[in-house]
Each structure stands twice: as C-alpha cells, then as structure tokens.
Amino acid sequence: MNDASESSAMFAGLPGISGGTRVCAVIGDPIEHSISPPIHNAAFRSLNMDFTYVAFRVRRRELAQAIEGVRALGIAGLNVTRPHKATVMRSLDTIEKTAREIGAVNTIVRSDAGLRGYNTDGQAALEVLRKLGGSLSGARVAVLGAGGASRAITYYLSKAVERVSVLNRTGAKGLRLAREVTRWSGTKCRSYRLNEANLRKETSESNILINTLPVDVFSRFATTLTQQRLIRPGMIVFDANYYDRESDFLAKAEQAGAKVSDGLEMLVGQAALSFELWTGRSAPIDVMYQAALEAKKAQTR
Ligand code: ATR
C-alpha cells in the first residue's frame, strides 16, 4: 500500500469523524497516560453519538490561552485534571456552587451563558462508598490528605457520616479543611498532623479509611496499616489512586476483611457525570467501566 492509500484507509477507519463531529477533551500536565479518552469514546460509540474525545497537554502558563481556545473552537465539553483544577476557575464565566465551595473544577460545560465549571469527583466517590457500605450514617472516617481530591470527597462524604478526621502533612491546610467541613455539613471534623502515631489512633477509631495521598507518599503509611493490623473486618477502605496492577495494600486490606476500592470506579463515575452534563443523556456506565479496565490493562503491557 502506498502512503496516500494507507493514510486514506486509516482515515476511513476512524470511527465516524466528520465535519460535524463534536469534540470533547481533557486538559492537564502530564496527560499522556490519561484513560479518559478511551472511557468517553467507548460511551459515544455505544450510543452512536457524533462526538469524539481527545487529550491535550496544557502547561500552567498556557492555561488561560487554552481556555480561550476552548471557547473559539467550540469544544463541546472539557475535563480538567492536575495541575489545573483550581486555577482554571479564574478563566470561567460561572461556577456551580459545589465546585466553588470545594475550590476545584474538573468539568466544564458550554452553554449560551458561556463556560460553566462543575466538580463531579466528590459525588462519584460518594457513590462508590455507598456501594461498598450502604447508608454510611453513623460512620467515622479518617481521610489522608487535604488537597483537591480530599476536598471534593470530604465535601460530599461529610454530609453522610457522623465524624471526619483529616490527616495532613501541612497542618494549616488540614485545619482549614476541617473548619470548612463543619461549615458545609455541620459534621464534627478535626485535623491532625500526618504521622504514624496519629494514623494509628485515627484509623483504629474509624470504620472508613480514605487515601488521597500520592502513591509514593502513601506506600510508607500503607505498610504501617497492614503490619500493625489496623485494617479490620467490615471496614471500608478507599484509595483514590488507581493502579496499573492490583494494589498490594488493597489486596491485603481485603484479606483482612475490609471492603475495598481503588480510584478506577471513581474515575469512571466522575466521567459518567461529566458525560451527562455535556450530552443530557444517561451515561452507559458499564461500557465506560469496561473501557477503563481495558485501557488500564493496555498500559501495563
Ligand atoms: P490532589 O488533587 O490529588 O488531592 P493535591 O491538591 O496536590 O492533589 O494534594 C496532594 C495531597 O498530598 C496533599 O494533602 C499533600 O499534602 P500538603 O497539603 O502537605 O501539601 C499531600 N502530599 C503531597 N506530597 C506529600 C509528601 N511528600 N508527604 C506528605 N504529604 C504529601
């Protein structure tokens, strides 16, 4: 096959891209390992929608320009990931109340009134936790970390549980989150310095444990949690990271009788909520979850 016929065959093989195809995207830096494109493209394909989804690496200094590009190009829907979830808020026309309170936007919707920011991370996490643990009322929660992911998760979770403890390296940030949790939900929330002694105490007094620390930072604490048998039968253990292979810590937590989930289901959940905001249609969540699993598997090959 010569070059011209090869490229036209490849073009013909693209699933339904035409002049009328609407484009959604994710921006972040780094972005090349994002599995959001396969998740959303599987959803569009399964519903036979004339949409496609791509990833753009956007550097911090180019974020405002990228958002102008989103406006000019008529991008139909945008996801935002690290490190832009907070700074992107300055470039938007309106921000939904929950996202404003959390202080982070992961989904942008285009409307006649301009670009509107939402946060679908926390609701997705709450759905995962409810699936694992039912109503959650009366639960006591220990949350590791007080960054963007922690804020989104605790915003929703604190409305459903009895007590939250935040453990964070930077005390002032943990304290700020603890105060906001009480303001958001009226739920009792205290913050503690992230160290082994506080981890032991707060985990032993909690029945839900949530990690939002980066994988390499968490690994040290994960060893303490398993070696000191702090994970008990019936506990809910949720790690907001997702892993190429099965997480050793979550496997051990499950062996200890905990109900566990990593961040993959939350990632699919937030994608499904974004999809619904952009398209007004019910997201085909099983198709999206399957695509996420396959994309994750393909990355480990
Ligand atoms: P995300 O959106 O994933 O929450 P983030 O907002 O950058 O990302 O938050 C990262 C979290 O990991 C924070 O709680 C951060 O603690 P600080 O508030 O003290 O920065 C925590 N974190 C990151 N690197 C860490 C490290 N080396 N040791 C302890 N905590 C760390």
Does position 286 have pLDDT exceeding 70, yes or no?
yes
Same domain for 126 and 198, yes or no, is yes
Same domain for 15 and 63, yes or no, is yes
Please report the DSSP string for 193-241 in residue order.
Answer: E-SHHHHHHHHHT-SEEEE-S-HHHHHHHHHHHHHTT---TT-EEEESS
Same domain for 174 and 116, yes or no, is no
CATH code of 72's domain: 3.40.50.10860
The pLDDT of residue 60 is 98
Same domain for 137 and 246, yes or no, is yes
Same domain for 169 and 114, yes or no, is no
202-217 confidence digits (pLDDT tens): 999 999 999 999 999 9
Residues 6 or more apart whose Cβ sits within 8 Å of residue 274: 77, 79, 106, 107, 118, 120
Catalytic positions? 85
Same domain for 142 and 216, yes or no, is yes
As given in the structure block, the two tokens for residue 28 are 């972040």
Domain that holds residue 288: 3-120+265-299
Same domain for 50 and 94, yes or no, is yes
Q: Which residue's CA is minimally distant from atom 30 of ligand 1?
A: 169
Same domain for 236 and 285, yes or no, is no
For ligand 1, mutation pick of 217, 219, 266 (most atoms within 8 Å of CB)? 217
95-111 confidence digits (pLDDT tens): 999 999 999 999 999 98
CATH code of 202's domain: 3.40.50.720
Overall number of domains in the chain: 2
Same domain for 134 and 111, yes or no, is no
Report which ligand 1 atom has the smallest distance to the Cα of 144.
Answer: 14
CA 198–ligand 1 middle distance (angstroms):
17
Same domain for 73 and 162, yes or no, is no
230-263 confidence digits (pLDDT tens): 999 999 999 999 888 889 999 999 999 999 999 9
Q: Which residue's CA is minimally distant from atom 5 of ligand 1?
A: 147
Tell me which residue of 87, 86, 91, 85 sits closest to 67, measured CA to CA: 91
56-69 confidence digits (pLDDT tens): 999 999 999 999 99
CA 113–ligand 1 middle distance (angstroms):
35
CA 148–ligand 1 middle distance (angstroms):
9
Q: Name the residue with tokens 């006649």.
A: 112
**DSSP structure class, residue 31:** -
Same domain for 284 and 182, yes or no, is no
Same domain for 179 and 189, yes or no, is yes
Report which ligand 1 atom has the smallest distance to the Cα of 174.
Answer: 18
CA 150–ligand 1 middle distance (angstroms):
9
* Residue 3: count of CB within 10 angstroms of its CB: 7
Amino acid at 223: T
